[in-house]
Amino acid sequence: MTLNRRQFLTGGLAVAATSMGLTACGGDGGGGGGGDGSADLQFAWWGNPVRNKNTADAIAAYTQANPKVKVSQQPGEFSTYWDKLATQTAGNKAPDIIQMDMAYISEYGKRKALLDLEKYGLDTSKFVEGSVDSGKIDGKLVGVNAGINTPTILANPKVFEKAKVELPDDTTWTWDQARELCAEITAKAGGGITGMGVFFNDAMISAWLRQNGKEIFSESGLGFEAGDVVAWFEMVAAYSQAKAIPSPSLYTEEVKKPLDQSALCVGKAAMQMQWSNQVEAASKAGGTEMTVLRFPSVSGKAADRKAWYKASMLWSASSRTKYPEEAVKMINWWVNSPECANINLAERGVPPNTEILAAIRSKLGPEQAKVAKFIEDIKPELADTPIAPPPGGGKINDTLVRYETDVLFGRTSPADAAAKFVDEAKANLK
Amino acid sequence: VSVISELSHIKVEHPKTDAQRRAQRKAAGRDNKAGYLFLLPWLVGLFVITIGPLIASLYLSFTEYSLIESPTWIGLDNYTRMIDDVRLHQALWVTFIYVVVSVPLQLALALAIAILLNQGMRGLALYRSVFYLPSMLGASVAIALLWTQMFGTDGLVNQVLRLFGVNATTGWVSSPDTALSTLILLHVWTFGSPMVIFLAGLRQIPQMYYEAAAVDGASRWRRFRQITLPLLSPIIFFNLVLQIIGSFQSFTQAHVVSNGTGAPSDSTLFYTLYLYIRGFGEFEMGYAAAMAWLLVIIVGAATALNFFAAKYWVFYDD
C-alpha cells in the first residue's frame, strides 16, 4: 500500500522534474495597431555599459524628433541574448528592431523571420564596398551592417618589451614565422608568459582556408574537406609543441575567458586574435595601447592574405513587426544620420557609411581612430566577403575548439581530428 | 519512520450498523474535501504549469521545430537520429558516470557526518547549519565560478600542491581527464540536504534498541549494522531515489565550468547541458524535446529499478 503511493509520487516527481527544463517558455500577444507614423517599437540589443548608455541616448534623441514613436528598450548580454530572442520568436513576440550577429543571421533570415529592409526603403548607397552584401540572405537585405569589423592580431607592447623582442613585420609574416616568434617570446619572457593567447578560432581557420583557396562555408554547405584541414590541426599541435601558445589546460581556460581577463590584457601573452572593434576595450583593460597587426599569410605577402570586412553586428527587423515602415525608418536613421553617429561614434565598429565616418572622424578617440585607419589601410588586401554561416553553422567555433582540444591533449591525431571535425560540421548544417 | 508506524497502529473502529457506516463515510468525505482544498495550490500548478507543457513537449518531440518556424511532424525521426548521435552517447556516458559515482559517495558522506552529529555533541545546531551550507550554495553559479578558479591551472589547489613540491601544471577543470571528477567532488561536497534527512531519521530510532543491544554485548559496528542500517533503510532509500533523479538533471555546474560547451573535449557534457545546446544553441527544439523524453524514460527506469531492488533491502518497521 504505502509502497505503491510512494512509487506513484516519486514516479510523478521524476516526470515532472525532468520536464521542468522545457516548461519555462511562454508569451502573449503585443500591443495595438498604428496609424500614420505612430508606432510602439521593441528595440533589442546586447552590449556593454558604454553601448547601453549610447543606445539609450540615441533612442531618446530619436523619440524626441519623432514624438509619435514609442520605443521600448530591451538591453541584454550576448550569451543570454540568443536564448531570449529564440524564445521570443517562438512565442511570436520578437522585438521589432533586433541587433543581429553574422553567426545567426541565416538561422533567422533563411527561416523568414527577418524583414527585407530594402523593400521598406533602407538606404545603403553611401556604404563602403563590401559592407552590405554580408547582410543579404537569399538576395534580400535582412540585416544592415552596424559597424565594420576585421580580424586582427593584437599585440601587447609591454610584453614585447619585457621579452626584448621586436614587433613583427605584419606585412610579410607567415604562420610558421608567427610560431617561431611566439616560441621565442615564450622562451625569453619567462614567468609563464607565452607568445600567443587565443588564436585558433573560426576567424583564423577561415583566413587560413581562404589563403589555401578554400572557404569555411560555401553556398552548398561546408567549403572544405577533411584533407584540407589536416595541416591546420598539425599547425595547432606544432604551436603547442613549440610552446608558442599556453599549455593545453591553460589554453582551454583561455578560450572561455572574457576579454578583460584574457592573457593578452593581463600581460600573460604577447599577442592574441581579436576583432578590430575590441581594440579600445583591450587597450583599456590592458592599461596600454595595443598594436593592431595583420594576421599572418601562407605566402608571406600581405596582399595574399585574403582579408575581409565583417559586420561587427547588424540591424535587422522582425518580419512579423506591425510597423515595418517605422522600424526601417528608425534603422535608416541609425545608420545614415550624423546625429545618431555622433552619439554612438565607432563603438559598434567603424561606420560603413563613408560620409558618416568622415563626419565623426575628428571626434574619435585615439584607439578608435587607429582602428578606422587600419580598416582603410587594408583595403587592397581584401578578398571576397565570406558568406554568412548557413543555418547550423553558427556554432562551428565550438566544434572546432573541441577537436583542437583533443589534439592539444594528444587524444586524437590531427588527421582523425580533421575527419571528425568535418563530419560533425557537415552534420550540423541544415 | 516512527510517525508512520505510529499511524499504522491507530485502529479504525469497524462500523456495526448502517447509520454508523453512513456517518463514517460522511466524515471521510469531509476529510477528503479538506485534503483536496489543501492540495489545490499544488494541483493548479501541476495542471497549468506542468501538464500542459509536458504534453506540448511530447508532441514537439515528434516534430522538427527550430523555434523560429512552426513545428512540422516528422514522426520518430528525432528518436532514430539519436542512434547515430555520437555526442548524445558521450553525454549519456558522462551523466551515467556522474550519477553512479557521485550519488553513493555523497550519501555515504552524508550518513557518516549525520552519525557523527548524532552523538549528542554540544552546538549541534551550529554544526548542522555549517555542514548544510554547501547544499544551499553548491548548485549556484557563484560556487561553480569559484570552483573554476580554485581548480584552474593556476588556481588555489594547484598552488597549494606546488608548495608541497608537486609539479601541478594541469588544471583540474580544464583537462579532459580530471574535469568530470572535479564536478563529482563538487556534488559530493553538497551533502547537506541528505545529511539533514539522515539526522532526522537517526533521531527517530528508539534508544532502547541500542540499550538492549549494549546489554547483550553488541559492538558498535554490530549495533550500526543490525539496528541503525535496517531502521534507517527507508530514509536511505528516499535519499537515494531523490539524489539519483536530481543528479541525472545536473546542469548548472557543467554549464558554468565549461562555459556552456561541455569543454574540455566534451568531458563535462552533461545530458541536460547537451539538451540545452541542442534546443537553444542549435535551434533543434524538437530533438531537444525528444532528448527530454528519453531522459524521462531513463530516470523512470532507474527509479523503477530502485523500487524493485528496495524489496530486498529496505525494511519497514510496521
C-alpha cell at B45: 500548478
Q: Taking a C-beta distance cutoff of 8 angstroms, is the pair A158, A288 a contact?
A: yes
Q: What would the pLDDT profile of B259-302 be if each residue is shown by its tens digit?
A: 888 889 999 999 999 999 999 888 899 999 999 999 999 999 99
The C-alpha torsion from B168 through B174 and B175 to B178, rounded to 10°, is: 80
Which residues from chain B sit within 8 angstroms of residue A17, using beta carbons?
245-246, 249
Q: Are strands A136-137 and B63-64 parallel, antiparallel or unpaired?
A: unpaired
Residue A288 touches partner B, C-beta closer than 8 Å = no
A-facing residues of B in 155-214 (CB < 8 A) are 169-171, 174-177
Nearest to A384 by CA among A133, A124, A109: A133
pLDDT tops 80 at residue B15: no
Q: Do B171 and A79 touch (CB under 8 A)?
A: no
Cα gap A218→A423, rounded to integer Å: 16
| Long-range Cβ contact pairs of A352-356 (< 8 A, separation 24 or more) | A352/A127, A352/A128, A352/A131, A352/A132, A352/A145, A352/A147, A352/A148, A352/A311, A353/A126, A353/A127, A353/A128, A354/A126, A354/A127, A354/A128, A355/A126, A356/A126
Which residues from chain A sit within 8 angstroms of residue B54, using beta carbons?
15-16, 19, 23
pLDDT at B14: 67
Q: Do A79 and B68 touch (CB under 8 A)?
A: no
Cα gap A89→A44, rounded to integer Å: 12
Measured between CB atoms, which of B50, B67, B296 is closest to A86? B67
Residue B54 touches partner A, C-beta closer than 8 Å = yes
pLDDT at A108: 93
Phi, psi of A412 (to 5 degrees): -140, 150
B-facing residues of A in 79-118 (CB < 8 A) are 79, 82-83, 86-87, 89-90, 107-108, 111-113
- How many Cα atoms occupy the beta-carbon half-sphere of A173 within 13 Å? 17
Q: Among A116-120, B109-113, B116-120, B174-178, where is mean pLDDT lowest?
A: B116-120
Mean pLDDT of A17-21: 43
Question: Mind telling me how many Å the CA of B71 is from chain A's nearest CA?
Answer: 10
Q: Taking a C-beta distance cutoff of 8 angstroms, is the pair A85, A98 a contact?
A: yes
* Average pLDDT, rounded, for chain B: 88
Considering A7-11, A35-39, A368-372, B8-12, the range whose residues carry the highest mean pLDDT is: A368-372
pLDDT at B129: 85
Q: Which residue has the cell 587565443?
A: A198
Cα gap A59→A96, rounded to integer Å: 14
- How many Cα atoms occupy the beta-carbon half-sphere of A215 within 13 Å? 17
Which residues from chain A sit within 8 angstroms of residue B66, using beta carbons?
107, 111, 391
Cα gap A295→A170, rounded to integer Å: 7
Q: Is the ipTM above a cut-off of 0.85?
A: no
CA-CA distances (angstroms) from residue A130 to A124, A133, A150? 11, 6, 12
pLDDT tops 80 at residue A421: yes
Mean pLDDT of B56-80: 93
A361 DSSP assignment: G
Residue A60 touches partner B, C-beta closer than 8 Å = no
Angle at the Cα of B36 from the Cα atoms of B32 and B37, rounded to 5 degrees: 115
B-facing residues of A in 131-150 (CB < 8 A) are none
Radius of gyration, CA atoms only, chain A: 24
Measured between CB atoms, which of B69, B248, B303 is closest to A111? B69
pLDDT at B81: 93
Interface-testing mutation among A10, A18, A256, with chain B (most B C-beta atoms within 10 A): A18
Q: Taking a C-beta distance cutoff of 8 angstroms, is the pair A69, A3 a contact?
A: no
Measured between CB atoms, which of A18, A112, A255 is closest to B296? A18
Phi, psi of B268 (to 5 degrees): -120, 30
Pairs across A and B, CB distance < 8 A: 148
pLDDT at B24: 77
pLDDT at A32: 40
Q: Do B175 and A252 touch (CB under 8 A)?
A: yes
Which residues from chain A sit within 8 angstroms of residue B167, using beta carbons?
none
pLDDT at A12: 45
Q: Do A2 and B4 touch (CB under 8 A)?
A: yes
pLDDT at B138: 67
Mean pLDDT of B44-58: 90
Interface-testing mutation among A233, A252, A268, A395, with chain B (most B C-beta atoms within 10 A): A252
Question: Mind telling me how many Å the CA of B242 is from chain A's nearest CA?
Answer: 8
Cα gap A207→A378, rounded to integer Å: 14
Question: Mind telling me how many Å the CA of B75 is from chain A's nearest CA?
Answer: 18
Q: Is B124 left (phi over 0), alpha (psi -120 to 50) or beta?
A: alpha
Q: Do A402 and B282 touch (CB under 8 A)?
A: no
Q: Are strands A221-222 and A151-155 parallel, antiparallel or unpaired?
A: unpaired
Cα gap A211→A220, rounded to integer Å: 20
Residue predicted with more confidence, A29 or A285: A285
pLDDT tops 90 at residue A120: yes
Cα gap A405→A304, rounded to integer Å: 29
Considering A39-53, A167-181, A390-404, the range whose residues carry the highest mean pLDDT is: A167-181
B-facing residues of A in 308-337 (CB < 8 A) are none
Q: Are strands A136-137 and A151-155 parallel, antiparallel or unpaired?
A: unpaired
Q: Taking a C-beta distance cutoff of 8 angstroms, is the pair A209, A305 a contact?
A: no
Q: Do A23 and B283 touch (CB under 8 A)?
A: no
Mean pLDDT of A389-409: 92
Which residues from chain B sit within 8 angstroms of residue A245, using beta carbons?
none
Residue B134 touches partner A, C-beta closer than 8 Å = no
Mean pLDDT of A213-227: 93
Q: Do B292 and A14 touch (CB under 8 A)?
A: no
Interface-testing mutation among A15, A23, A249, A256, with chain B (most B C-beta atoms within 10 A): A249
Q: Do B295 and A111 touch (CB under 8 A)?
A: no
Q: Taking a C-beta distance cutoff of 8 angstroms, is the pair A319, A112 a contact?
A: yes
pLDDT at A35: 56
| Type of residue at A18 | T
pLDDT at A210: 96
Mean pLDDT of A25-30: 35
Q: Are strands A140-141 and A136-137 parallel, antiparallel or unpaired?
A: antiparallel
Cα gap A229→A250, rounded to integer Å: 24
pLDDT tops 50 at residue B35: yes
Taking residue A424's Cβ as centre, other Cβ atoms within 10 Å add up to 16
Mean pLDDT of A275-299: 93
Question: Mind telling me how many Å the CA of B246 is from chain A's nearest CA?
Answer: 8
Within A190-307, residue ranges assigned H as helices are: 202-211, 226-241, 248-255, 279-286
A307 DSSP assignment: B
Nearest to B58 by CA among B298, B304, B303, B294: B294
Return all residues near A224 (Cβ < 8 A) that are at least 6 apart.
A209, A214, A215, A216, A422
Measured between CB atoms, which of A14, A406, A428 is closest to B265? A406
A47 DSSP assignment: -
* Average pLDDT, rounded, for chain A: 89
pLDDT at A83: 87
Q: Do B153 and A253 touch (CB under 8 A)?
A: yes
Residue A248 touches partner B, C-beta closer than 8 Å = yes
Cα gap A195→A164, rounded to integer Å: 12
Residue A392 touches partner B, C-beta closer than 8 Å = yes
pLDDT tops 80 at residue B195: yes
pLDDT at B128: 83
pLDDT tops 60 at residue B5: no
